[in-house]
Amino acid sequence: MTPTSSPFKPEPLWKVRVHLFLGAARRNWALFAESKIGLVGLGIIVLFLLMMAAHPILMSTVWEPRVYDPVRGFDPRLVGRHPAPPSWAHPLGTDPIGRDVLSQLMWSARSEFALGVTAAVISVVIGTIVGAVCAYFGGVVDMFFMRLADLEMLFPFIALLMVLQSVMPLTLIRLALLIGVLSGFGGITIILKSQALTVKVKPYIEAAKVAGGSSWQIIRRHIIPNIMPLSFLYMMFNVTGAIFTEAVLSFFGFLDIRMSWGIMINTAQESGYLGAFGQYWWLWAPAGGAITLLCFAFYLVGRGLDAVVNPRLRKR
């Protein structure tokens, strides 16, 4: 090596990498923040997270567990008057069997997040890997997974889940796994595969082959990182899908879940309070609003990420 008179001390590798990572994160954040939509979405999500975090604190301080427990609670002071309209004690009223609606709403946020995020992560992990593999190998492998995806897109999987729940009880975890796996092998695979195809034909893939990379090494090091941004984007949209699916299934009472926003509406419906629409609004509006708002928030974040991921929208 030539002795250089450079004033630069070589930094340790890891330090440089951390710097690079932070730099990239900062740039991407700036792009994300530029589109205000994403920030709004993020704000709403944070709000829900706060709600979720506040629930156990409230339960252990101001809320008497026997009254405010979202599943087993009952307010004896209001016997006979359930469902009670909003009051100081129950800001969003009580449901037909005397439980506090606000407590239910806050408590459920946790399961909604768990479900949405788990399902989305599973589906995107599957979609990314299967998409990359299909694009890279092509041939029979590709054909098999593409037909599978077509099949799934033809077949409404809400119906499939309804059938499944008659065979086994659908708990939250099972539901998350099922939604994740089913949508992972579905449309998202096709989208990520077409993205992977544009990466596969790049000469740097050939260069990696010549350097001695095996198929799996190339998929892992070159193809997956290059479709990752798009995967991440679809993850946001998939959260929306999962939450929505859960709501629909709970509404029809198909799920073995103790409490969720869907179940809140289901309870109202079961006990016949949904008919008089405006009168008992506190039974359905908070849960319905929460579902819509959270889905919308993830959608907005997705749109915001689109500006980061999709170079088309950038300058030049």
Partner 1 sequence: MPLLDLQGLTMQYRTKMGPVHAVDDVSLAMEAGEALGLVGESGCGKTSVAMTLLRLLPDNAEIVGGQVWFQGVDLLSLSEQEMRRVRWGGISMVFQAAMNSLNPVYRVGDQIVEAIQEHQHLSDRQARARVAELFHLVGLDPKLMERYPHEYSGGMKQRAVIAMALACSPKLIIADEPTTALDVIVQDRILRRINEVRTQLNMSMMYISHDIAVIAEVSQRIGVMYAGKLVEVADTVTVFKRPAHPYTIALMSAFPSIQGEKRPLAQLPGEPPNLLAPPPGCRFHPRCPHASEVCTREEPRMEKVDPGHGVACWHPQGRGRD
Partner 2 sequence: MTEGRLTLEGVTKLFPVRKRVFTLKVRNFVHAVDNVSMGVERGEMFGLVGESGCGKTTTGKLIVKLLEPTRGKITVDGVDVTRIRRGKPLRAFRRKVQMIFQDPYESLNPRFTVYDTVAEPLGLQGLRSLAEREATVAEILSAVGLTPPETFMFRFPHELSGGQRQRVAIARAMVIRPQFVVADEPTSMLDVSIRAGVMDLLVALRRELGVSYLYVTHDLAVARYMCDRMAVMYLGKIVEQGPVEEVLRNPVHPYTRALISAVPVPDPTVRRDPPDIRGDVAAPIDPPPQCRFLSRCPKSGTVCERNNHPDLEEVLPGHLVACYRARD
| Positions in the binding site for partner 1 (CB under 8 A) | 2, 4, 6-8, 19-20, 23, 27, 316
Residue 163 to residues 106, 166, 170, 258, Cα–Cα distance (Å): 30, 6, 11, 20
Task: Give the residue with the Cβ less far from partner 2, 1 or 79.
Answer: 1
Q: Which of partner 2, partner 1, none lies near 204, with the C-beta cut-off 5 to 8 A by kind? A: partner 2
Task: Give the residue with the Cβ less far from partner 2, 71 or 207.
Answer: 207
In the beta sheet, which residues pair with residue 100? 94
For the record, the structure tokens of 199 come out as: 């990466």
Give the residue from 91, 85, 83 showing the smallest Cα distance to 62. 91
Task: Give the residue with the Cβ less far from partner 2, 13 or 163.
Answer: 13
Residue 239 to residues 90, 110, 246, 305, Cα–Cα distance (Å): 30, 14, 11, 14
Distance of closest approach, residue 195 Cβ to partner 1, in angstroms: 14
Q: Which of partner 1, partner 2, none lies near 168, with the C-beta cut-off 5 to 8 A by kind? A: none
Is 13 a binder of partner 2 (CB under 8 A)? yes
- Count CB neighbours of 193 within 10 A: 25
Distance of closest approach, residue 96 Cβ to partner 1, in angstroms: 57
Q: Which of partner 2, partner 1, none lies near 316, with the C-beta cut-off 5 to 8 A by kind? A: partner 1
Q: Which of partner 2, partner 1, none lies near 167, with the C-beta cut-off 5 to 8 A by kind? A: none
The CA distance from 68 to 191, in Å, is 45
Q: Which of partner 1, partner 2, none lies near 13, with the C-beta cut-off 5 to 8 A by kind? A: partner 2
Q: How many residues does the chain have?
A: 316
Q: Which of partner 2, partner 1, none lies near 61, with the C-beta cut-off 5 to 8 A by kind? A: none
Is 1 a binder of partner 2 (CB under 8 A)? yes
**Alpha-helix runs per DSSP H in 138-171:** 139-154, 157-167
Binders of partner 2 among 179-218, rule CB under 8 A? 202-204, 206-214, 217
Task: Give the residue with the Cβ less far from partner 2, 23 or 169.
Answer: 23
Task: Give the residue with the Cβ less far from partner 1, 24 or 54.
Answer: 24
- SS3 at position 214: coil
Specify whether the CB–CB gap between 204 and 218 falls below 8 A: no
Burial of 82 (0-12, 13-18, 19+ CB in 10 A): middle
Task: Give the residue with the Cβ less far from partner 2, 1 or 167.
Answer: 1
Q: Which of partner 2, partner 1, none lies near 71, with the C-beta cut-off 5 to 8 A by kind? A: none
Task: Give the residue with the Cβ less far from partner 1, 197 or 300.
Answer: 197
For the record, the structure tokens of 9 come out as: 């001390």
Task: Give the residue with the Cβ less far from partner 1, 6 or 166.
Answer: 6
Give the residue from 176, 290, 195 showing the smallest Cα distance to 238. 176
Give the residue from 288, 3, 260, 302 showing the smallest Cα distance to 110. 260
* 143 alpha-carbon distance from chain centroid: 29
Distance of closest approach, residue 11 Cβ to partner 2, in angstroms: 8
Distance of closest approach, residue 217 Cβ to partner 2, in angstroms: 6
One-letter amino acid for residue 148 of the chain: L
For the record, the structure tokens of 210 come out as: 């010549």
Is 225 a binder of partner 2 (CB under 8 A)? yes
The CA distance from 119 to 168, in Å, is 19
Number of residues that bind partner 2 (CB under 8 A): 26
In the complex, the residues that contact partner 2 under the rule CB under 8 A are 1-2, 4, 6, 8, 10, 13, 16, 20, 202-204, 206-214, 217, 221-222, 225-226
